[in-house]
Amino acid sequence: MGSLEVERTTTGWAARDSSGILSPYTYTLRNTGPEDVYVKVLSCGICHSDLHQVKNDLGMSNYPMVPGHEVVGEVLEVGSDVTKFRVGDVVGVGLLVGCCRSCNPCKTDNEQYCNKKIWSYNDTYSDGKPTQGGFAGELVADQKFVVKIPDGMAWEQAAPLLCAGVTVYSPLKHFGLNVSGLRGGILGLGGVGHMGVKIAKAMGHHVTVISSSDRKKEEALEHVGADEFLVSSDATKMQEAADSLDYIIDTVPVVHPLEPYLSLLRLDGKLILMGVIGAPLQFVSPMVMLGRKSITGSFVGSMKETEEMLEFCKDKGLTSMIEVVKMDYVNTAFERLEKNDVRYRFVVDVAGSNLNP
């Protein structure tokens, strides 16, 4: 089809201030061009970072803000230079909608580390318009930042994979941990953590869930599929587990000590940080020196990794554990997410919701 030239409006649910309370908001979609895809939103996951953003926890929020970066939708129209997608395709849009395309990260398929990346919401697009997320009826995205959802994968199942799924898949692949026979730890059994267990198990790893209490022990072992469960406050069990893990994926989004978990790592083990934390974390240097251990971080994944991860999940039959809600429940969902009262990801049925009641 021809270049998309008409400015369109849509209705989303936006936060107006740091109370984080969302309500209907009608706005104009950004100007579109030949590389763009116009998408009807079908479903959108709710991530813990959405909570940080709507409440201005990181001190950089701009309002009105329509959150949502785990977006699955149907292509309604494509620009004249779009080659990857056709009308009717079911597609995904994640955390990024733009990058400079000329820096080293961009040239090496690591565009999520571009210093000029454009977030899917709470950012400004290259034309000066604010970006808005997937808690809305429609959106426009450059084809580079759109992925095809594999045939047969349910919309609501695919949504959390676009953030939680690729956030785990990317470091396991990048650090060469996507081989069978490893022993891994997943710290925190939330939206990212439960996908960490599933993906690591599908790669052939022995997986231990590490938590601050035994409250999630049964679900970790029986429902999510972990091999072992370790309570971090149990000093005896933690001592017994010392030097046993090749890596730990740390999904905890609040300040917490690192030393107890560093002690669980073998020689050359990696503690991979994934929680967005706005305060310093501490450790004493011998904890890493005396085992050549690494504390590193990883941020979502590239578009290439996202495509790989979706195919991996399809091939392995992996699904996320979700609770589907309508848009009019979204404020309650945020309240529950803040209390960790979700197993394990909320997904908003956007297409089935009345966005402007």
In tens digits, what is the pLDDT along the chain, a chain of 357 residues?
A: 444 556 799 999 999 999 999 999 999 998 779 999 999 999 999 998 999 999 998 899 999 999 999 999 999 999 999 999 999 999 999 999 999 999 999 999 999 999 999 999 999 999 899 999 999 999 999 999 999 999 999 999 999 999 999 999 999 999 999 999 999 999 999 999 999 999 999 999 999 999 999 999 999 999 999 999 999 999 999 999 999 999 999 999 889 999 999 999 999 999 999 988 889 999 999 999 999 999 999 999 999 999 999 999 999 999 899 999 999 999 999 999 999 899 999 999 999 999 998
Whose structure tokens read 């450790």? 283
Nearest-5° angle of CA 50, CA 321, CA 163? 40
**What pLDDT score was predicted for residue 144?**
98
Whose structure tokens read 């730990």? 248
Whose structure tokens read 């994640």? 94
**What pLDDT score was predicted for residue 2?**
47
- Position 46, amino acid: I
Distance between CA atoms of 138 and 203, rounded to whole angstroms? Answer: 36
**What pLDDT score was predicted for residue 4?**
53
Nearest-5° angle of CA 190, CA 318, CA 342? 25
- Position 43, amino acid: S
Residue among 175, 160, 201, 206 at smallest CA distance from 272: 175
Largest distance between two CA atoms of the chain: 66
